[in-house]
Structure 1
Amino acid sequence: MSDVAEPLADLTKLFGWNGLTCQIPAHWDVTSVSGSAKSGYFAFDDEQDRRLEIKYERAGRMRKPDLERTLSGYFAALKKKAKSNQELRLDDGVRVPGVQTMPPEYEIRSYGWEADAITRGLIWHCSTCHRIVIAECRARKNRVNTKEMAQVLTSIRCHCEGDTAPWAVFDFEVFVPREFDLGVSRLQAGLISFSFSAKRRQLVVDRLGMGQVVMKHSSLDAYVRDVHYKKLRKIRLRFQPVDWNGHKGFRFEGEHRRVYDWLPALGARIRAWRVSDHIAGLAWFEEPTNRIYIIRAEGPDCAELAEKVAASARSRIAGQVWGNR
């Protein structure tokens, strides 16, 4: 049994954030992302409506959560928020098909409620990662597809057990070693950016749209060095052209400039010892998708880390998957 969400069908895509993964229909997209590894919230919409919400928080290791009490409290909150003229029907006995396929460490309860839409939900506590997850799919009464709702809900996984975890949003996904924590993320039109850190190491993953516009006004190495990473101007970067998955790009490496650089013999020895000063990465232009990828790592084994992460980066454009994974 996989610890990462398995594909539902050909027309689905992966969402992954802080170890939580799920497979959603290709025409759904995440519209709200918030929180940290301890707690978080995600919302997903299709072209018309809100379709999926996921909330999670980490419970204490010393006590087993009372899911019945948590669900009762959630129902009470729904009743309180319901409009006075709105009929709200709650059912904690609704069965969601496929729950038995979920990992055995999940203690699961299913539920449903109806108002102007029909909702099916799951709440569970995981004895491995100690997260409590509440996830629910909804649809208007004239658009209900209970099979799809059940498939999405039962595809959700609250933690990953391999060496890497997927960070997947919109049409982009990349796999990052699990020991890295997210520092800053930017989800903008034309830019998806993640900045991670671990002990003595940094990792930045960027995917830019409108690559042809960038390439029209600048070479890729000049863009990385002079525009995209302004702080790298003070770093001695060396560029090596490379064919990456059939796309033109380059590897780059360098070191932070330090005072001891003025002493050539001593400086070389210190730089070899201070591996935290080392920087390495890859950048390439994927012409069929008009995307630019830039992966940069700092610290020990930075070249190996950048190569591994770059090999996992891919995009799903118009139903086609581009990349190396």
Structure 2
Amino acid sequence: MKKGRRALVGWQGVVAEVPEDWNLVSIGGNESSGYFRVDSPGTMSLEAKWSTEPRNVDLRRQLEAFLSQIARKCRKRKVNFEHKIKAKDDGSLSFSWRSDRKGVGLLYRCDLCKRIVIAQLSGAKADDISGCASYILPTVADHSEDGWQTWAVYGLVAEVPPGYKLEKHKLMSGYIQLVFRKANNRLTIERWALADVVLKKHSLTEWYADAVRHDLRRFKYQIEEIDFDGEPAVELTGERAGFKILKAFPDILMLRRPAMYLNACAWACEKSNRIYSVQVIHTSREQIFDDILDRVECH
């Protein structure tokens, strides 16, 4: 298989590069334990699983348990299963298996984030699994060099600052929302499809003001039309309004800085025909808004 153009897939900081026409079909879990699966248009799949384990965990035993699950499924289908495991110089384990399908993969433990990651490429007997794995598996990573966490789902690619944990998410064909929290600070990254349809009867300013009105009802803010990297955009700046600041008193009494300030930006990307939004509700110390904007890819 030719390399061609690639797309990034990432969840909870575990990322991989796959051919552009592969599709994310399954995703779940949290930072401590999770998975994702990406399917080719044909019969190949990339799976990545991770779990937090103690330093002295037996990696070979972990891999044997993973392969035993595949073997059990093969026995149910009454097909033979065989596998090989090879220890590598860096402490990781590579493996291959064969039944009515075949697969190759790797298992390693990251001492920095304390996660064990298993990544495997599987497919039909006729598929060039080894050739495809030679350029996909080396792209699997579980953390970035600067501590920011990469998220890449259905065309939304963004990096999130250290300390922010996923609180909730929505993954739909026309709308994606990722909400993160760090203490009282909240970061929301959104993506809407079909921007030309969404903005057919309204300007971006009118549409976005209506879209955020409910969520930002406790804030007093200004909306300004701007240019963002050559794209039409709107910027919101503000803070908690009037007597509603009383809602922050519990945080003040607990000696926690309340999240008083709002920064947001939404832009329509002509090339991808999508609308993107980054919204940060933060304390005076959390000045990360511009850095986050710089790390959101829209096309």
Q: Does 1:144 align with 2:128?
A: yes
**Alpha-carbon distance between aligned partners in 2 of 1:70 and 1:175, rounded to the nearest angstrom:** 30
Q: Does 1:227 align with 2:211?
A: yes
2:72 aligned residue (80, 96, 121): 80
1:53 aligned residue (39, 47, 56): 47
2:21 aligned residue (22, 27, 34): 27
Task: Output one character per residue of 1:220-261: Cα deviation in whole Å (capped at 9) or x when no partner.
Answer: 222222234422244322011111111111211122224178
Identity fraction in percent: 25
Q: RMSD of the alignment, in Å?
A: 2.5
2:33 aligned residue (34, 39, 55): 39
1:237 aligned residue (210, 221, 224): 221
Would the aligned equivalents of 1:202 and 1:298 in 2 still touch at CA under 8 Å?
yes
2:184 aligned residue (176, 182, 200): 200
**Alpha-carbon distance between aligned partners in 2 of 1:156 and 1:128, rounded to the nearest angstrom:** 15
Residue range with higher mean Cα deviation, 159-168 or 37-46: 159-168
2:59 aligned residue (41, 62, 67): 67
2:294 aligned residue (311, 314, 322): 311
Structure 1 residue 135: deviation in Å? 1.2
Structure 1 residue 32: deviation in Å? 0.8
CA change 1:31–1:302 in 2 (3 A) is farther
TM-score w.r.t. structure 1 length? Answer: 0.81
Q: Secondary structure of the residue that 1:216 maps to in structure 2?
A: coil
Structure 2: gaps (5+ residues): 247-256
Read off the aligned partner of 1:209 and give its amino acid letter.
A
Read off the aligned partner of 2:267 and give its amino acid letter.
W
Task: Output one character per residue of 1:134-187: Cα deviation in whole Å (capped at 9) or x when no partner.
Answer: 111012122224122122112211222304222112222112212211111211
Report 1:1-325 matches (<5 A). Answer: 11-60=5-54, 63-82=55-74, 83-93=76-86, 104=90, 107-259=91-243, 276-301=259-284, 304-315=287-298, 322=299
Would the aligned equivalents of 1:225 and 1:233 in 2 still touch at CA under 8 Å?
no
**Alpha-carbon distance between aligned partners in 2 of 1:33 and 1:53, rounded to the nearest angstrom:** 10
Q: Which residue of 1 aligns with 2:251?
A: none
Read off the aligned partner of 1:55 and give its amino acid letter.
K
CA change 1:80–1:47 in 2 (3 A) is same
CA change 1:167–1:46 in 2 (3 A) is same
Structure 1 residue 312: deviation in Å? 1.8
Would the aligned equivalents of 2:205 and 2:225 in 1 still touch at CA under 8 Å?
no
